Every structure is written in structure tokens, then in C-alpha cells.
Structure 1
Amino acid sequence: MAFLVVLVVAIAVVVLVMRAASAAGGPGGAARTPRRPRPRPQRPVRPMAPDDDPEFLRELERRAKRDDGSPA
């Protein structure tokens, strides 16, 4: 008979602890704090070909105009 009482008390304690944990934001609780998103790893900067670089093309055009006075 004592074993049955101890078993019922143990189950009641487990239930109360689980309810308290879920109310405090434990796993599955509604009061969880949002996690910060992980920063994405930065892609390595690929070298840009000169004919794809707008700054290079502007400089090339500026030099061409300065050299002979007419566009290339």
C-alpha cells in the first residue's frame, strides 16, 4: 500500500515539474525566447574581370577621351 502512495506522489511531482517547465519557456512552451539568427558566412569576393568592372570601364573611357579627344 505504501508503494502505491509513493508512486502516486512521484507522478504528481513529475506532472507539476513538467507544467512549471513548459510555463517558464521550456521545450514546447509558448514563452520561449526567440533565438538570434546565425550570421551567414560571407562569400569570398571573387576577382572581377576588367570588362565586368564598371569603374574600370569608366576610367578606360576617360583616358581614351583625354588621349585623342574622341571616344574610342
Structure 2
Amino acid sequence: MVFLVMLVIAIAVVVLVMRAAAVQGGDQGGGPGGQRRPRTPRGPKPPPRIIAPDDDPDFLRELDRRTRRDDGSTSA
């Protein structure tokens, strides 16, 4: 009878330790085979995409405004 009680207590301790480890580790998706998904590296975010001036519509509009004159001619 003592053996049965000790077995139940041991199982309860193992379950509690596994739950605590899952909560602390974020539960990485360990399956029955013990395989986990590989972690993706979390480095700094890449800088925002830079638009070249010849692709920027605001820049082209401003350039066109500067090059055109009221009389329709262009500045050299």
C-alpha cells in the first residue's frame, strides 16, 4: 500500500514539474518524440524599405514642378 501511495505522489510531482517547465519555457511544441520546432533567431528588425528618388511619386512631382516654368519652357 505504501508503494502505491509513493507511486501516486511521484507521478503527481512529475506532472507538476512538467507543467511548470512548459509554462516557463513557453511550450515550444514538444511532441511525443521529444522533437521541438527550431527557434527562429530574434534579432533587430530590418530597416524600413527605402524608395529610390526615381520611384517616389512625391519627388517626381516636385522635380517636375521645379523644372517647368509658367510659360511651358523647361529650365536648361
Which range, TM-score by smaller chain? 0.3 to 0.5
Report which of the two structures shows the higher radius of gyration computed on alpha carbons: 1
Query: Please, what TM-score do these two structures have when normalized by structure 1?
Result: 0.43
Greater helix content: 1
Query: Please, what TM-score do these two structures have when normalized by structure 2?
Result: 0.41
